[in-house]
Amino acid sequence: MTETLKVGLIGLGVMGRRMLDRLAAQQRLEAVTVWDSDPAAIAAALVAHPHLRAAADAEAVVATPGLASLYIATPPAQHMTLTELAFDAGLAVFCEKPLTVDFDAAEHAIHRIEHEGRRAAVNFALASSPGLQVLQTSFGAASHRPLGTLREVNLELAFAEWPRQWQSAAGPWLNERHSGGGFTREVLSHFMFVVQRVLGPVRIGAHRISYPDDGVTAEIALRAELHAGEVPVRIDARVGHDERADYNRMSWRADEGEVELTSWFRQIERRRHDGQPTAADSQETPDVGQADQLTQWAAMIEGRSHSLPGYAEALAVQRTIEGLLKP
Nearest to 318 by CA among 144, 203, 192, 222: 192
- DSSP code, position 304: -
Residue 249 contacts residue 262 (beta carbons within 8 Å): yes
Query: Higher-confidence residue: 167 or 162?
Result: 162
Residue 283 has pLDDT above 60, yes or no: no
CATH superfamily ID and name for 126-283 = Dihydrodipicolinate Reductase; domain 2 (3.30.360.10)
Residue 226 has pLDDT above 80, yes or no: yes
DSSP assignment of 131-144 equals: HHHHHHHHHSTT--
Q: How far is CA 85 from CA 16, 17, 203, 308, 319, in A?
A: 19, 22, 34, 21, 24
Q: From edge to edge, which strands make up the β-sheet containing 29-35? A: 53-54, 29-35, 5-10, 67-72, 92-96, 120-123
For helices 189-199 and 311-324, the axis angle rounded to 10 degrees is: 120
Residue 177 has pLDDT above 80, yes or no: yes
Give pLDDT, residue 242: 66
Give pLDDT, residue 34: 98
Q: What is the mean pLDDT of residues 38-64?
A: 97
Give pLDDT, residue 180: 86
Give the whole-number percent of the chain exceeding pLDDT 90.
85
Give pLDDT, residue 165: 83
Q: Specify the fold of 5-123.
A: Rossmann fold (3.40.50)
Residue 284 has pLDDT above 70, yes or no: no
Query: Higher-confidence residue: 284 or 141?
Result: 141
* All structural domains of the chain with their residue ranges: 5-123, 126-283
Give pLDDT, residue 304: 97
Residue 88 has pLDDT above 80, yes or no: yes
Helices (DSSP H) in the chain: which residue ranges? 14-24, 39-48, 58-62, 79-88, 103-116, 130-139, 183, 189-199, 286-301, 311-324
Residue 281 has pLDDT above 60, yes or no: no
Give pLDDT, residue 277: 59
Q: What is the mean pLDDT of residues 57-84?
A: 97
CA gap 243, 74 in Å, rounded: 29
